Amino acid sequence: MQINGIAHIQLTVQRFEECTAFYDKLLPFFEMTLMYRGENFLYYVGGKTGIAISRAGKDFLQEPFNQARPGLHHFCLRLKSKEDVDELATFISSLGGKLIRKPQYNEEWAPGYYSILFEDPDGIRIEANYVPGKGNLDQQVKLPKDWGDV
């Protein structure tokens, strides 16, 4: 059986109000539509996926996001052009977002791989990339030596 992509990603955040304000700007920028807003949950759909933001439980409000802990390291959204990656970088900067890595090529991943890396207000890392053609989606990937380093 072959999967047909990712249906949704759900992120649990500490600073729910700050994060929802951030995602309320970011996700419509990606032409995603708000499907549900509640006191503890936000859900957008578009681009053949959904992104949900949920409030962290009270017992976990003092535990900040850390890529090295078990769980999510980062997630990556695929864009349709190099220009989209550049436009997103400008948009993130206009939001006061934290750009970890400005737009750049990283040919180790795939020919033409061009991406940025940024963080939401909780420090959850989001990558956005453009790869010409199918990139590595239809072949074996040879990972860079430092893959997985935090």
Burial class of 44 by CB neighbour count within 10 A (0 to 12, 13 to 18, 19+): buried
In whole angstroms, give the CA distance from residue 12 to residue 65.
9
- What is the pLDDT, as a whole number, of residue 62? 85
**What percent of the chain has pLDDT above 90?**
67
Residue 53, pLDDT above cutoff 70: yes
Residue 140, pLDDT above cutoff 70: no
Q: In this predicted model, which residue has the larger pLDDT, 36 or 97? A: 36
In whole angstroms, give the CA distance from residue 27 to residue 31.
7
Q: Which domains does the chain have, with CATH numbers?
A: 1-59 (3.10.180.10), 73-141 (3.10.180.10)
pTM across the whole model: 0.86
Mean per-residue pLDDT of the chain:
88
In whole angstroms, give the CA distance from residue 6 to residue 77.
11
Going 115 to 138 to 31 to 10, the CA torsion angle's sign is negative
Give me the mean pLDDT over the 45-66 stretch. Answer: 91
Instruction: Summarize pLDDT for 61-81 with one digit per residue, the tens.
Output: 888 888 888 888 899 999 999
Sequence-distant (6+) residues with CB within 8 A of 111 are: 131, 132, 135
Beta-strand ranges (E) seen in 69-149 are 75-78, 98-105, 114-119, 125-130
